[in-house]
Amino acid sequence: MVDHVLQLKLALLGSSFRPGPTLNRTLAALALALAVAAAIVVLGATVDVANAEHRAGTVIVGAALSVALAITPLTSGLGSAMEPRRFASFPLSPRRLAVSLGAAAAVGVPGVLAILLGVGLESAWSATSTGGAAVVAGVLAAAAIILTSQYLVIVGTQLAVSPAARVLVTAMARAVIVVALAIVVTTVLVVRSGENGNTLVTVAGTLANTPVGMLWAAPGSDLAALLARLFGGAVMLAVLIAGWGFIVTRLLVSPQRERAAHHAAGLGWFDLVPATQAGVIAARSLIYWTRDARYRLVLFALPIAPLLMMLAFAIAGTPVPPLWLLPLPVLALFLGWFTHNDVAYDHTALWVHVAAPLKGAADRWGRVVPPLLIGVPLIVALAPLLALWSGVEGVLPALIGVSVGLLLTGLGVSSVASAVGAYPAARPDGGPFDQPPTLGVRAGWSQSLALLATFAFMSPALVVAWWGFTEPEWFAIAGIAGVSTGIGMLLLGVLIGGRAFRRRAPELLDLVLRT
Amino acid sequence: MGLHKKFGGAVAVNDVSLSVRQGSIFGFVGPNGAGKTTTLSMMTGLLRPGAGQVLVGGIDVWREPIEAKKLLGVLPDRMRLFDRLTGAQMLYYSAVLHGVDRERARARIRDLGDALGLDGSLQRPVRDYSIGMVKKISLATALIHAPRVLVLDEPFESVDPVSTSQFVDLLRRFANGGGTVILSSHNMDLVERLCDEVAIIVAAGILDEVRGPTSLEERFVELAGGRTAVEGLEWLTTFSS
């Protein structure tokens, strides 16, 4: 029986390598998995457990990777998840099925990585007096991760009752993994830099008293804590095993939770947003940002432009580390400014908005959602890393504040500009580089005024941030000033832009009709 | 309640006045370039008139646009839809913009898909549709919020005969239920069969509202200046070998 389920699992793994549209995704996932595996091996071999900071780093990295690995099975869309209920129609005893599924979970990418993570812990401690304890902790931890991932698969399939919910579960699982990997990278960098060691030790100390961290901290504890943590780990695993048998038995006799099938379902983003005017405009906007060549061009250019700027400055002789502060504000400014002609991008489809009883502000709010969804997480995720690389003390709040401020102010200005100063744009069916024949002087005015206005409104925060380079306490103030300017300007921009849009909608339609 | 509409002053349309009874189908015909589309655009709030007034159920379209647009369903000619959306998404978009809630919108998408023979295509992007299919989805877009007044600019262009007769049945049902339809078309036979009243617009001004025994086509040709003998095209019948 066990070997049949294992065979099925291996066949599933093999089938993901079939040529087809999913092959690229499989290869990308595999590359990521190999990179993580290599990192675990290298870290396990090089970490120096006699050093308190290194020990703390081991705990944090171990805990972060545990969470990431446990949630990995949810990232592949649950299409072929080994969920107990799928075996309900076979003549199997629940106990044997529970054992088989547990064993099958160890085969496959997350299972192998979990085992490797346990081995990494053992190799880190192998030459010390607690090497034996590390072996026990590693085995317990790997088994716990594998079993927890099976619980999460069940929770995931319970939640994913509709196609939209399935997309949401997958997306959230992927987001968790990205965050966990970012934590790992940041931790390793901090440990290597040798600074902020105390923070690391505090975080690790807290984690060590939680289920995700206790086994990773066990080998480095004094005898009493070591025994307590190992015992805690054993209890955790026992509970997981006992609960697993119970849950498999229960699931086999409970009905599938599935929302009554809508055959007209599958509205994509529209299923995820509230059914309001601003909501559907946001969803429509998101679809265009991800599918329309004119928007996608911008998404490709976004990371490249700031890097080119950095390169130019570096060649001109500016020292490199502080230049890492440049990309995020430039990216935020560009992303906020880009939407200043959004209305013209709709071309004549704008009539749908003009003919509807549409509130101007709803139109404006819907259009700012995609850049906000792209920009804000990007800023929050990348700022700590870039601040660290820049080597400027205490610059993080200013970097986040100024970037967010530039993005929001840019969006506020654009909300007004696209209603007041719209100019002809590339047509939806043309190439992204096509320009309409009658661009006119208006285009130049709109573009430069939108950019200048954003700078002007943000100048107080920018100046304060500049003072921070001589007196670091200004950095925090610059951060607050940036964010509050941004929020204020966005609200004001949406309000004024909304009124202007409602008043000028027929003229805007007239403009796009003539291009 | 009678509907009253007046226009005037735009370059293409000179002082046109007409009124349409509730529950009737009103045909709007005229030669190319006479100002049909311009007039219909001004009626629906898409094009600002130079002067004049448009009343829908007593509400001024240009003074209280939000209230008036709740009552109107519009199918403009030669304007795109958001064609990256699938048919179902486009219908849902229009429904929610007009204040229809989620469940009702879904149910209506199904119903309209069945009624207009679109079920198979609703999950495909609108940009993959043929011209006739786009007309169908546009009509569905205009209908989905159950408007009181439908304004359709060339609704039958490029639509196959079977679908046209489906359209016609649908519009009849809509009018019998108390809805008002204003449509423009080049198809005289169809307009004559379908419409309760017809206005002919020639060179920017309404000439006549046609009733009586003469066929619409005869009257139309007469009003538009009569047939002119075709001259100077002798080469057309020399048939190059």
CB contact (8 A) between residue A356 and residue B69: yes
Residue A264: band (very low, low, confident or very high) from pLDDT cuts 50, 70, 90: very low
Residue span of the structural domain in which B159 resides? 3-237
Q: What is the mean pLDDT of residues B195-213?
A: 69
Domain shared by A234 and A275, yes or no: no
Residue A260: pLDDT band (50, 70, 90) is very low
Q: Tens of pLDDT along B131-151?
A: 889 999 999 999 999 999 999
Instruction: Provide the domain limits for residue A295.
Output: 269-513
A319: number of Cβ within 10 Å: 9
How distant is the Cα of A254 from the closest Cα of chain B, in angstroms? 29
Residues of A in contact with B48 (CB under 8 A): 506-507, 510
Nearest to A109 by CA among A83, A135, A71: A71
CB contact under 8 A, B82 and A270: no
Is A212 inside a domain boundary? yes
Chain A residues touching residue B70 (CB < 8 angstroms): 357
Binned at pLDDT 50, 70 and 90, residue B240 comes out as low
A-chain CB neighbours of B46 within 8 Å are 351, 354-355, 506, 509
A492 and A349 within one domain? yes
Percentage of chain B modeled with pLDDT above 90: 28
Q: Which of A252, A279, A302 is the last residue of a domain?
A: A252
Mean pLDDT of A140-163: 82
pLDDT at B72: 93
C-alpha gyration radius of chain A? 27
In this structure, the answer to whether residues A441 and A361 fall within a common structural domain is: yes
In-domain check, residue A18: no
Q: Which of A267, A352, A359 sits opposite B82 (nearest CB)?
A: A352
Residues 6+ apart with CB under 8 A from A491: A412
A162 touches chain B (CB under 8 A): no
Question: So what's the pLDDT on residue B223?
Answer: 65
- Nearest Cα of chain A lies from the Cα of B221 at a distance, in angstroms, of 31
Pair (A240, A281) in one structural domain: no
- Note whether B109 and B92 are within 8 A (CB): yes
A214-250 b/e (C-beta count within 10 Å ≥ 16 → b):
bbbbbbbbeeeebeebbebbeebbeebbeebeebbee
Mean pLDDT value of segment A498-513: 90
A114 with A237, same domain: the answer is yes
Structural domain tally of chain B?
1
* Tokens linked to A250: 């229960």
Contact state of B93 with A510 under an 8 Å Cβ cutoff: no
A245/A281 same-domain check: no
| Least reliable range by pLDDT among A5-9, A372-376, A457-461 | A5-9
Total count of domains within chain A: 2
Q: For B64, which residue in chain A has the nearest alpha carbon? A: A357
| Contact list, A348 vs chain B (CB under 8 Å) | 78-80
Which amino acid, residue A169? V
Radius of gyration of chain B (CA): 19
Does residue A23 lie in a domain region?
no
Claim to verify: residue A65 and residue A140 sit in the same structural domain: yes
- Is residue A276 domain-shared with residue A244, that is, in the same domain? no
Shared domain for A122 and A162, answered yes or no, is yes
**What's the pLDDT band for A296 if we cut at 50, 70, 90?**
confident
Q: What pLDDT is attached to residue B11?
A: 52
Measured between CA atoms, the residue of chain B closest to residue A268 is B89
Sign of CA dihedral A168, A173, A174, A176: positive
Residue A27 included in any domain? no
ipTM topping 0.95: no
Task: Give me the CATH number covering residue B54.
Answer: 3.40.50.300
- pLDDT reading at B218 higher than 80: no
Flag whether A19 is in a domain: no
CB pairs under 8 A between A and B: 106
In a domain, A258, yes or no: no
Which chain A residue has the Cα nearest residue B100? A275
Q: Is the pLDDT of residue B6 over 60?
A: no
Give the phi and the psi of residue B71 in degrees, each rounded to 5: -90, -15
Structural domain includes residue A347: yes
Between B89 and B119, the more confident residue is: B89
| pTM of the full structure | 0.68
pLDDT band (50, 70, 90) for residue A58: confident
Name chain B contacts of A509, Cβ cutoff 8 Å: 46-47
Averaged pLDDT, B41-60: 86
Residues A86 and A235 grouped into a single domain: yes
| Range scoring the smallest mean pLDDT among A280-284, A310-314, A335-339, A490-494 | A310-314
Nearest beta carbon to residue A509 from set B46, B66, B113: B46
Please indicate, yes or no, if residue A341 is contained in any of the structural domains.
yes
For the cut 70, the answer to whether the pLDDT of residue A279 exceeds it is yes
Pairwise CB contact (< 8 Å): B97 & A277 = yes
